[in-house]
Structure 1
Amino acid sequence: MTTKSKNYTSTTNACKLCTPLGASLAFRGVEGAIPFLHGSQGCATYMRRYIISHFREPVDIASSALGEKHAIYGGAPNLKKGILNVMKKYEPKLIGVATTCLTETIGDDVPRYLFEFNEEFGDLELPEIVEVSTPSYNGTHTDGWHGAVRSLVDQLNMSKVESNNSVNILPNMISCEDIRHLRDICEDFGVEATILPDISETLDGPALEDYVKIPSGGTPIASIKKMSGADATIEFGRCLPAETGGTVLASKFGVANHRIGIPMGLRESDTFFETLEAVSGSSMPARYERERGRLIDAYVDGHKYVFGKRAVVYGEEDLVTGLCAFLAEIGVDVILAGTGSKKKGLTEAVTAVTEGVARRIPEIHEGVDFHDIAERAGELKPDLLIGHSKGYRYAKEWGIPLIRVGFPVHDRFGGQRLLHIGYKGALNMFDRIVNAVLEKKQADSPVGYGYM
């Protein structure tokens, strides 16, 4: 007797990216750092191309360039030789080594290889070397990002340093513009903040006359090594893994860890500013009171245009949570929220930020690809699609606007400069959503009109 199994649909258009890509982005946010993938050359080539299309900046990612032979005999010689080549060519301050599916599958013991490397070449002036395990079959690009941040904090903070009256901020996968705005907020509060990682200049720098192998900017390594002496850590994210950079600092050195959502929209931004006030002892500067007031005024002015619109939201789990919080405030009904990650607590997080505000709790779909999202979303008849560029084909098919947020934005210019966080970021997103609704209505009108 045979049992008929359910038909299995393979992944056709993944709603996630590979784990070492996220780690590479995080390592790029450290001063003088080079990401290094221990695996095949194709992995590094794919990731470089993908990242460059969003940030419009040259991005070098080194590789141990393993082949068939190394899949049998191991990649230790290539890893060591590759690190020496990177040292010679780039003279980096730090090399961030991330594993790939190949090296994880064959069981390469990267920590042992790096120990051997330090033993064999300890007479040279070696850079800092930080390693992170990032097999793509065991996570998404956000797992790679958080894993790299945890490894940086853990492996560069070997002992407790003296209290330095600073605050650590682990901002999650937000844009370069978001990081710049975050730095401005801390400066206005008078807070000495270590933001890790800081991609604001390394992935969105100024035009230079000569090519620079490693762009300036990024979180200084010296600052990372002082994170154990901070007064507190603020982590953005309601769907974070159990062990993060913040929990490492809390467990090893007793640094108080404040885990809050990405500050998107009014209420989540309020939480961030209240937390910053608490850890800094400073009151919120008047400019942010005014920004908050302008945001509320815009909500009032634009509410009639967007109230009751139906939206499908997708992307990284914490970005989706932040978007759901924001959309609930402006009266947009999120009918479906999708992410490629699994078992990150998205349902609980979205419920927490929408309950009592949203008219309905959205359907939550975890571990899905766009094929799954599109089948269900097509039945729900959305008015808006909100997420990154990979949703464009469905927005076009359904004849609805796509509001681009997050990573990657490949079919528009300036994705790295989109502002999402704080009152100013919420106002930016609100304007874009209202105008997308107006543009759609105007374009669909048989007569057209020039006044709203």
Structure 2
Amino acid sequence: MEKTTETSEKNFTSTRNACKVCTPLGASIVFKGVEGCVPLIHGSQGCATYIRRYLISHYKEPVDIASTNFSEETAIFGGEKNLFIALKNVTKQYNPKIIGIATTCLSEVIGDDMRKIIYKYKTESGTNIPELVFVNTPSFMGTHMNGFHDTVSSLVSNFATKNQNQHSINIFPGFLSPADLQHLKEILEDVSIKAIMVPDYSDILDNEYTGEYEKLPKGGTTIEELKQTANAKASVEFGYILNKSNPQTKSAAEFLKSNFNVPRINLNIPIGIKATDAFFDALKKITNNKTPEKYTKQRGKLIDAYVDGHKYVFEKKAVVYGEEDFVVAIISFLEEIGIETVLCASGGNSGLLKQIIQEKINPSSKIQIHDNFDFEEIATVCKEIKPDILIGNSKGYYIARELGIPLARVGFPIHDRLGGSRIKHIGYEGTQALFDLIANTLIQQMQENSPVGYKYM
């Protein structure tokens, strides 16, 4: 793909309030979606502590992230010794099936050869050790989404093994909420598809209360399922940009297509009627079965809701921000309901955001499209264009507060409300919840700013 983007000339070089998170954080989320896996951050203790705190605040679940705990000495002489100690400690404390190792800026800058170090550890430790998978995730080379997608690709490339044809399909959903993943599994079960989802943190990061602390919560994609991804009938992958900030990288589905000839079906994240229709059409082609009546009814009710709420949302101006593929999906949905996106922004730096929006969503789009943007830049533009609503994660709250406009909280992270893991965005059902949220957010703003107030619409 040719990279195109629209960015204003900057008179500064620093990022003042990033609209992105660090690369190993994305890797950690994927590793948490693998059964019996402990993420291990190869770097300073601060990196692991930051990631734990950030994820716990959103998911409201315990999130264990191990660390190799670099010191000044380690930074000079290398992290091999620390990694060996960490691997032995994690194995002893957790008895994991797999340890997922993510590098950091520091371990990348000093040049630790991870492949060589892990090979040496395996050679010295024998066979009674967990599976070890590593991914290069320096934050100076990307965002949490690069870490997320590169880790999915690393897991698949490490384990995928061709043996026999299976009746399952692969689902690579991207960075969705646990509620989205649960709904996705419900859909696949209803259409009688055996699916392998990578990753699957739907239970691990939205766990039940048992009264006891579980070091390794139940759930997640199994190692055997990772092996079987090479034998699937097809791979369904959500998102167009994925990890394409580096054109040489391959997504998980692209890897399986080129190495094992597994057909790849690439779709927009199914938010909105059009994108959800495309997803169900793909499932229909795979199974040769009709869409269950349950979902045709959900679709009809969603259309009815669009009609009911149209006058409250039509021609409102929105600013959308977040991960690049999530932004693309939200804009597609807003196009359906008549909300005008006046600015979309992401901290991602693929250079593909404008191109994808024009190719996949609206060729004549007049949206201000900015990648590699921070929240201070978003705030500056918002003061000029005066939108009616912000749509994105909770990090934009201070902008909404300063401008006196509402914020519809979606995506990741949600740090100032409960239920970040329970927000449903996808499918007809998730779109219904999203439509109600946005419409009611706008209605509440009008109601609270009415000079007389009203109790009926």
2:370 aligned partner, one-letter code = H
The correspondence of residues 52-451 of structure 1 with structure 2, limited to 5 A, is 52-123=56-127, 125-157=128-160, 159-240=161-242, 241=244, 242-355=249-362, 360-451=365-456
User: Displacement of 1:344 after TM fit?
Assistant: 4.5
Q: Which amino acid counterpart does residue 166 of structure 2 have in structure 1?
A: N
Q: Write the mapping of 1:8-19 to structure 2, written as runs, cut at 5 A.
A: 8-19=12-23
Question: Any conservation in 2 of the 1:354–1:361 contact (CA below 8 Å)?
Answer: no
Contact 1:335 1:361 in 2 (8 A): yes
How many angstroms apart in 2 are the aligned matches of 1:293 and 1:439? 26
| Inter-partner Cα distance in structure 2 for 1:96 and 1:263 | 29
Would you say the 8 A contact 1:239–1:344 is kept in 2? no
Quote how far apart the aligned CAs of 1:345 are: 1.3
C-alpha distance in 2, partners of 1:7/1:432? 37
Structure 1 segments of 4+ aligned residues over 4 angstroms from their partners: none
Equivalences, count: 444
* Aligned partners of 1:65 and 1:78 also within 8 Å: yes
Matched residue SS, 1:165? coil
TM-aligned CA deviation for residue 451 of structure 1: 0.3
Compute the RMSD of aligned alpha carbons.
Answer: 1.3
> Aligned partners of 2:224 and 2:350: how far apart in 1?
35
Task: State the distance in 2 between where 1:232 and 1:187 align.
Answer: 16
Shift of 1:6: 7.3
Whole-angstrom CA distance in 2 between matches of 1:305 and 1:126: 59
Alpha-carbon displacement from aligned partner over 1:244-283 (angstroms, at most 9, x marks no partner):
1101111111100111110010111111111111122222
Query: Structure 1: where are the runs of 5+ without partners?
Result: none
Q: Please state whether the residue corresponding to 1:8 is helix, strand or coil.
A: coil
CA shift digits 1:201-220 (9 cap, x unpaired): 01010001211101111111
Contact 2:241-2:350 at 8 Å conserved across structures? no
Report the Cα distance in structure 1 between the residues aligned to 2:286 and 2:112, rounded to whole angstroms.
Answer: 42
C-alpha distance in 1 between matches for 2:393 and 2:39: 24
Q: Find the aligned partners of 1:185 and 1:361 in 2 and give their Cα distance.
A: 35
Instruction: Name stretches of at least 5 consecutive residues in structure 2 with no aligned partner.
Output: 1-8
In structure 1, what is the Cα distance between the partners aligned to 2:115 and 2:444?
54
- Rounded to whole Å, the distance in 2 between the matches of 1:229 and 1:252 is 11
What's the CA shift string for 1:183-240, capped at 9, x where partnerless?
A: 0000001000001100110101000121110111111111111111100000000112
Aligned letter for 1:441? Answer: M
Deviation at 1:9, TM superposition (A): 4.6
Aligned residues of 1:149 and 1:197 also touching (Cα < 8 A): yes
Moved more, 184-193 or 341-350: 341-350
Aligned letter for 2:214? Answer: V
Q: Give the Cα–Cα distance (whole angstroms) in 1 for the partners of residues 197 and 361 of structure 2.
A: 28
Q: CA contact under 8 A between 1:36 and 1:97: conserved in structure 2?
A: yes
**Structure 1 vs Structure 2: percent identity of aligned residues?**
49
Conservation of the 8 A alpha-carbon contact between 2:44 and 2:67: yes
Amino acid at match of 1:198: D
2:19 and 2:346 in contact (8 A); partners too:
yes
Residue in structure 1 matched with residue 34 of structure 2 by the alignment: 30
Quote the Cα distance in structure 1 between the aligned partners of 2:173 and 2:439. 27
